Structure 1
Amino acid sequence: MIINIITLFPQFWKSFLSYPLIKKAIKNNILNFKIHNLKNYVIGKKIDDYPYGGGHGMIIKIEPIYNCINKLNINFNEIIFLTPDAKLFNQKIAIKLSKLKNLLFICGHYKGIDQRIRDFIITKEYSIGNYILSNGEISTLVVIDSIIRLIPGVLGNIKSAFTDSFYKNNYDYEYPLYTRPYNFKNMKVPNILLSGNHKKIIKWRKLKIFIKKIKLL
């Protein structure tokens, strides 16, 4: 998979790309990251400007993003933008995107980006939650990480990506997990898990998931 990233902060990605798992995938030609500094595509000196109609904050202009994509001249499978006011990203979307070959991510900043970028350039918008971050690089990193771990060869064993409890439970909440020791400073593992009665254990786990859902309502 080739992942292109348009960003105002290319240095942000150095740490992620130096992570051993990622470095190995890049070395084995499983992943290819291309980081594009948006500042290199600015017309004049300003990458942002005040919003038409008034209001606070600065808006990333359309020209530098358009110029960057135009110069790349690549037929991307998807051009993706992370923003709070979009469809909530989930595991099913991650699986779908992991099967594509060429993705472009646009990282937002300041108050936002010119709406024309969202209307005419971006093909998919996702949110990782209804809250604000200091930059789009953070949310973009979250989505990229969730996608690439599903690509064969990135993890040491691809089965690891598809056998974790969240995946096996059809993206449902996780039940409580315990391991040894049984008793740690008088904090004990529930006895039901040591009973050997798998039907009761399954019933107990489903009840715990139900309780968790109720608490999160």
Structure 2
Amino acid sequence: MRVLVLEDEAELGAEIAGGLRSVGYAVDLVATVADAGFAVSVNEYDCLVLDRMVPDGDGLELVRTLRGHGTSLPVLMLTAMDTVADRVDGLTEGADDYLVKPFAFAELVARVGVLCRRGEQPRPPILYAGGLEIDTARKRVRRDGILLALGAKEFAVLEFLAVRAGQVVSRIDLIEHCWDEQADPMSNVVDAVIAQLRRKLGVPVISTVRGAGYLVEGPAA
């Protein structure tokens, strides 16, 4: 899952981005509405987390623009503008959710998770692929009832592949959805995580399709 965060307070922005990354999200962090608009125009996101009052305007301006173009990308407004009128404004102008600062980080993660899932095709909370039980809500993976210890990035990659079980997923698709814009598409970050996953899973779950990408077989395989 890839999230764009618009936050002009550097320390808070870094805290939000770092926290979301720690639970497996790929996060791009920007400080202006203009940069947020550009990021949305060139990248695919599962959710936007937008502050309102930033140096060059109001994050709600971006929401209006997106909705005006017919974009249904989920949006969470995360702002200190806390009056009822502010919240009503944000929701009626197209935001999907509104969280007031200061906030509990666990609540932010929960709300982002709900919005990311809302943008997907309906699917069960537990996936079965390659002999694994993948609990996408609790971020847990079991093999033969045994809980496996996966890092946040490892889980994100496995989940992305499992959702597309039976389909070949390219390295570029993995980079674009599981890493942020700092990732070098020519680096070996994908190969390194795939290698770590294969080692930890202990069974041949992920196949390499030469010249095309990676494949996880579905439960019937």
Q: With the length of structure 2 as denominator, give the TM-score of the two structures.
A: 0.31
If each structure's strand is expressed as a fraction of its own residues, which one has the higher value? 2
Q: With the length of structure 1 as denominator, give the TM-score of the two structures.
A: 0.31
